[in-house]
Structure 1
Amino acid sequence: MAFRFRALRHRNFRLFWSGQLVSLVGTWMQSVAQGWLMHELTDSAFMLGLLGFLQFLPVLLLSLWAGVVADRVDKRRMLLLTQSLALLQAAALATVVSAHVVQPWMVLALALVFGVFNAFDLPTRQAFLIEMVGKDDISNGIALNSAAFNTARVIGPAVAGLLVAGMGVAACFWFNAVSYLAVIWSLARIRIAPRAAGAAGGGTRTHVMEGVRYAWSVRPLRNLLLLLGFTAGIGFQYMVLLPVYARDILHTGAEGYGLMVSAFGLGSLAAAVVMTRRLDRWDLRRNLRFGLSISGLGMAAFAWSRSLPLTLAMGFCIGLGLILYVTSTNTLLQLTTEDRFRGRVMSLYTLMFIGTAPAGALISGWVAQVMGAPIATSLSALVLLGGAIYVFFRLRVLAAREAARPTEPVLTEKLG
């Protein structure tokens, strides 16, 4: 059992993990409350898609530049800055809601502002992990990081549903603002040995292109990133439509909405626990195939369910599958990437994982507005199943290739 938590041996990681666990509960509470607030203000599936579009648009536009910054600067200080700015954003949203002056454009504008901070926070956070735990424990650090994220994903939405129903959405925003103090405090106590500055010399554009060329030239990185971009763009956009399912299809209200998000989180947490085991190259490859398959099938059933228990069960399956897939992808990328390119490669991971979301959220919102949320969610399911079919055939090719060349290094992903 202790082996499953070996990354927690590192003091810095313990501090970071505990602080972000508290903060992430608040983040998920705000995410649930923000979607519910927009649906109450506009009663429009398209506006939910637009909200997702604006929140993730900065990741699309800025993530590659943010990766260069992450390779150049002190990552702990960068995270202190992004988390402090996120606290101010949450407080501003809480203030306009509490003052009863909130308008849809305010929610959209503040979502865009949060996206700017997040574009720098995400690649820096991913690249910072290896500085806290080292390469030997990086896979376990990623898994425990995912476990914290998904524990919060279970707790935060459930609490948010109760708070929205009992006290209103402003309470969720205020809680989120206060929760940032936990991660800011933990980051302030972390002590990292100085490292040589990366990406020195040349302009930002030069270093961005250097990182892109590196990722494209290494076949495992290229294939993993392209597959992630294909599946995440539309396949992961089920979340933006959950208020529609809760309010208009299942008629469960804010409490049901919170339970839906928590069901996804519970499945995701189960996946994160599975990922704490020691996994070899083929375990990780099979996770890609299984994760995409079970999430695609679960999403297809979720789309047409009219029973809350079935919806929650399928939400569990979707969360389990997506996190198995994403966490395995992250682990393989981290294990394959050279340290000097880590920030830039993780910015490409962020770009493919989250930066593709703006277009996907708009498409899903538009399809839901015109043809209904079940059709939009079914489209997401088809994309995930298409990715699973691709991985299935690629693994057959790789099995034959490795049978002919049995001396390939362990834990070097070759998905191409």
Structure 2
Amino acid sequence: MNSLSNLRKSIGESFPAFKENNFRYFWTGQCISLLGTWMQRTAQQWLVYTLTKSPLLLGLLGVAQFTPVLLFTLFTGVFIDRFNKKKVLIITQSSLMILAFILAFLVWSKEVRYWQVLLIAVVMGCVNAWDMPTRQAFIPEMVGKRSIVNAIGLNSSVFNVARIAGPAFAGYMMVKFGTDVCFFLNGASFIAVIFGIILIKPKYSQKSKQRGSILSDVKEGLKHIKSNKIILATVLSVFAVGTFSMNSDVIIPSFATVVLHEGAAGYSFLLSIMGVGSFIAAISVATRAKKGPSKKMLFGSSVLVCIFQILLLFTHSYGLSGIMLAIVGFFTVAFSASANSTIQINTSDEYRGRVMSVYTLANMGTTPFGNLFAGAITEKFNPNVGFFGCGFVALICMMPILVMVKNTSFAKKKD
């Protein structure tokens, strides 16, 4: 009994967000739902690549899915600050569930076409333009401000456990049963997260007053970011790394087949091993939550992820590729979680929805450009050059930002 009590105390001290019922409901639902999401993501990429045999057309899938995020996220942030975030999430998650079932039916019927997958991706993008910034802005309402960093780290950890297990499970299901099963299981997985959200009782509900037009509220949010050098530098870093570096998903299918001569199982294993590195990084961020995000971790990881992508230019063996991708996964998540935490603890509640919408725009909204860039280079040259180009351009973009923050203190903001 004492050992169990000590274990609970140790978990509570290391992961204070777990003390909150709200976060446990949300986190448990995410464990199931994100497994399905990664299964669908893996199956969808493989489906498109087998339909088209084109890295460029695979890149266009990302363009279709993330262009709505690029176009609408700034404006959805205004409404997220005005509306009840819990209700918004129930609507968005239900919509994503329906879309997964539609895709499952199309693949099962053997009538699926490339344009249909693109169309569903566009609709998913429209839903995600609401869903992604809302989920980020909802975290403080679930756990309170003191546990934000820990909650972000734990949320990232479950994302990356799913990133490990999802592709591996998807690879098995695709080989044994077909891609349609992956899409169906993803649709079913949303039931868990919707039920978890329904159970959540927010600690507070922050809504901004509707004082002006949508455009004026967008401008206020951008002014808030510009006035805070820490937030501004972090957002710019996310733009640089998010646009050019975070395109491995576009390159890996071609890398697995063309360079490593692997099939669906080998491809899914590469995604899983990359997820292992990502998971280790997420747990590291969560356990050091009391110290808060550090400047060294934030900008050091942004540079290192670029360097290891550049080194993939010289990688042609399966084992070494797995190790390199695991390292890329580690520094990618170390950067993303640190950036998210830095922005959250330095943002006022009044602007949180708008600021997190800009973060989502920087992290996901520029994906159409990044996917096109990665897909075009990979198709024109080869997957090794694709990795090199993404890492090199991201590193060049980071240089002026590193100069900008050289003498800036990233001390933790007090509540």
Same fold (TM over 0.5): yes
| In structure 1, distance between residues paired with 2:164 and 2:203 | 35
Shift of 1:166: 1.6
1:296–1:382 contact (8 Å) kept in structure 2: yes
1:49 to 45, 51, 59: 59
Shift of 1:283: 5.8
Query: How many residues are aligned here?
Result: 404
| In structure 1, distance between residues paired with 2:211 and 2:129 | 23
Shift of 1:290: 2.8
Kindly indicate whether residue 198 of structure 2 is the aligned counterpart of residue 185 of structure 1.
no
| In structure 1, distance between residues paired with 2:206 and 2:377 | 49
Shift of 1:164: 1.2
For 1:262, the equivalent position in structure 2 comes to: 272
For 1:312, the equivalent position in structure 2 comes to: 322
For 2:5, the equivalent position in structure 1 comes to: none
Shift of 1:390: 5.1
1:119 to 121, 126, 129: 129
For 2:412, the equivalent position in structure 1 comes to: 411
Shift of 1:171: 1.0
Aligned-partner SS, 2:153: helix
For 1:272, the equivalent position in structure 2 comes to: 282
Using the TM superposition, name which of 185-194 and 98-107 deviates more. 185-194
| In structure 2, distance between residues paired with 1:113 and 1:303 | 35
The 3 A distance-change label for structure 1 pair 172 and 196 is closer
1:206 to 205, 208, 216: 216
Q: Which amino acid aligns with 1:322?
A: T
Q: Which runs of 5+ in 2 are unaligned?
A: 1-9
The 3 A distance-change label for structure 1 pair 331 and 87 is same
Kindly indicate whether residue 232 of structure 2 is the aligned counterpart of residue 236 of structure 1.
no
Shift of 1:373: 2.0
Shift of 1:90: 0.4
Kindly indicate whether residue 297 of structure 2 is the aligned counterpart of residue 296 of structure 1.
no
2:293–2:342 contact (8 Å) kept in structure 1: no
Cα distance per residue 1:85-136 (max 9 Å; x no partner): 0001000000000000000001111111111111100110000000011111
| In structure 2, distance between residues paired with 1:26 and 1:199 | 37
2:164 to 154, 165, 178: 154
Aligned-partner SS, 1:397: coil
What root-mean-square deviation, in Å, do the aligned CA atoms of Structure 1 and Structure 2 show?
1.9
Q: Which amino acid aligns with 2:228?
A: V
Shift of 1:146: 0.5
| In structure 2, distance between residues paired with 1:132 and 1:62 | 25
Shift of 1:298: 2.1
For 2:262, the equivalent position in structure 1 comes to: 252
Q: Which runs of 5+ in 1 are unaligned?
A: 403-408
| In structure 1, distance between residues paired with 2:83 and 2:159 | 25
Using the TM superposition, name which of 227-236 and 263-272 deviates more. 227-236
1:157–1:261 contact (8 Å) kept in structure 2: yes
Kindly indicate whether residue 100 of structure 2 is the aligned counterpart of residue 97 of structure 1.
no
For 1:405, the equivalent position in structure 2 comes to: none
Shift of 1:78: 0.5
| In structure 2, distance between residues paired with 1:288 and 1:391 | 12
Aligned-partner SS, 1:200: coil
| In structure 1, distance between residues paired with 2:187 and 2:236 | 35
Shift of 1:293: 3.1
Shift of 1:182: 0.6
For 1:140, the equivalent position in structure 2 comes to: 150
Q: Which amino acid aligns with 1:337?
A: T
Kindly indicate whether residue 50 of structure 2 is the aligned counterpart of residue 34 of structure 1.
no
2:229 to 187, 200, 219: 219
1:300–1:381 contact (8 Å) kept in structure 2: yes
Shift of 1:197: 2.7
For 2:82, the equivalent position in structure 1 comes to: 72
| In structure 2, distance between residues paired with 1:200 and 1:393 | 38
Deviating beyond 6 angstroms after TM superposition, the runs of 4 or more aligned structure 1 residues are none
| In structure 1, distance between residues paired with 2:118 and 2:57 | 9
Shift of 1:221: 1.3
1:302–1:311 contact (8 Å) kept in structure 2: yes
| In structure 2, distance between residues paired with 1:281 and 1:393 | 24
Percent sequence identity over aligned pairs: 35
The 3 A distance-change label for structure 1 pair 306 and 16 is same
For 2:180, the equivalent position in structure 1 comes to: 170
2:36–2:186 contact (8 Å) kept in structure 1: yes
For 2:24, the equivalent position in structure 1 comes to: 14
| In structure 2, distance between residues paired with 1:62 and 1:97 | 29
| In structure 1, distance between residues paired with 2:249 and 2:206 | 40
1:310-349 correspondence runs (5 A): 310-349=320-359
Shift of 1:317: 0.2
| In structure 2, distance between residues paired with 1:158 and 1:35 | 14
| In structure 2, distance between residues paired with 1:17 and 1:226 | 29
Using the TM superposition, name which of 207-216 and 15-24 deviates more. 207-216
Aligned-partner SS, 2:15: helix
| In structure 1, distance between residues paired with 2:182 and 2:300 | 35
Using the TM superposition, name which of 118-127 and 209-218 deviates more. 209-218
Shift of 1:58: 0.7
TM-score (norm 2): 0.93
| In structure 2, distance between residues paired with 1:172 and 1:220 | 41
Q: Which amino acid aligns with 2:265?
A: E
| In structure 2, distance between residues paired with 1:174 and 1:280 | 40
The 3 A distance-change label for structure 1 pair 320 and 388 is farther
Shift of 1:387: 5.5
Shift of 1:393: 4.8
The 3 A distance-change label for structure 1 pair 223 and 391 is closer
Shift of 1:167: 1.2
| In structure 2, distance between residues paired with 1:395 and 1:348 | 20
| In structure 1, distance between residues paired with 2:155 and 2:293 | 19
